[in-house]
Amino acid sequence: DHYRLQREKYFRGKHSKGKIFEKLGLCAQIKFVRFSMNLLPSLKDSKLFITDTTFENVPVTIYQPKRTNPGLRKGVLFIHGGCGIFGNKRFYSALCCYLSRESDSVVVYVDYRLGPEHQHPAQLSDALATTMCFMKQAKDYGVDPNHIILAGDSSGGILVAMVSQKLAEIGNQPKIRAQILIYPFLQRMDFMLPSYFQNQYGPFLTRNMVLCLGLKFINKECVHRKKLGRNAHVPEDMKQKFKKWISADLIPGEFKARGYNPPMPAPFSKELYEITKLNDKTTQSPIISEDDIIKQLPET
């Protein structure tokens, strides 16, 4: 929690300043936030070996405990968040050092390609390629291939979930021991669920920020955020099809205790539907995958 709060405080400050600079025409918000992240110091840890290398041409940073271990260690492959457009190893180095040091594990940080320059499925392709490479080479890094954990925060969480599902579809792979999904984004069918309104003003990401950053990832303007936030991107037949899995009616009353009075959904917008590529099966929400895939997933 300490590292998470530090990162979130830093990010929100730079995000706000970047928004001001963008409105003044001085600098694009995305470029300012990335520039600020690159100014962070590259941390070192006296108890760890920290190595930069590549897995399948994807840059990775490996954190390995220096103290000897009689057997093979656990491995943690960490996929960072940042709405698919932010994040680098400097921003996450303190967390990766902490995970490796405190859990006596080998941690692999994945520096996947970012949007909007690289659109989906570039991020998934990088995450999947590095995962499969690490699983094959695990013993070279002193890691038990049967004890590899995938972890990710925010948009990194959805990549972890999608990688786990892809591995289940591919088959003939060593099983992932577990997946850790830290406040993940697992569906984009319904932005009017209770949590979106109960947490719309923070404490860190506001509802508007999430919608805007999601639109920026697909290289679109924030002017669409209000309609998107009222599910204008989902056609009626799709709403009916998936409401048995994703619906406020399925959420227990205790999770609506802070009040839940959503506005009426906006009329369907074919433009938004096409912008969000909701009809593309490769970008579907992992939470609504078929049961035969879900039941093969690792402990979560």
Q: Which residues are catalytic?
A: 154
| Dihedral pair phi/psi, residue 148, rounded to 5° | -105, 130
Beta strands in the chain (DSSP E): 48-55, 58-65, 73-79, 106-110, 143-153, 178-182
Contacts (Cβ under 8 Å, ≥6 apart) of 161: 179, 181, 184, 186, 286, 287
Contacts (Cβ under 8 Å, ≥6 apart) of 206: 200
CA distances from 39 to 2, 42, 95, 252 (A): 21, 9, 17, 44
- Are 126 and 110 a contacting pair, CB within 8 Å? yes
Short-list 198, 264, 194, 279, CA closest to 233: 279
Short-list 200, 186, 12, 203, CA closest to 91: 12
CA distances from 210 to 22, 96, 168, 191 (A): 18, 25, 29, 10
Measured from the Cβ of residue 13, the count of other Cβ atoms closer than 10 Å reads 12
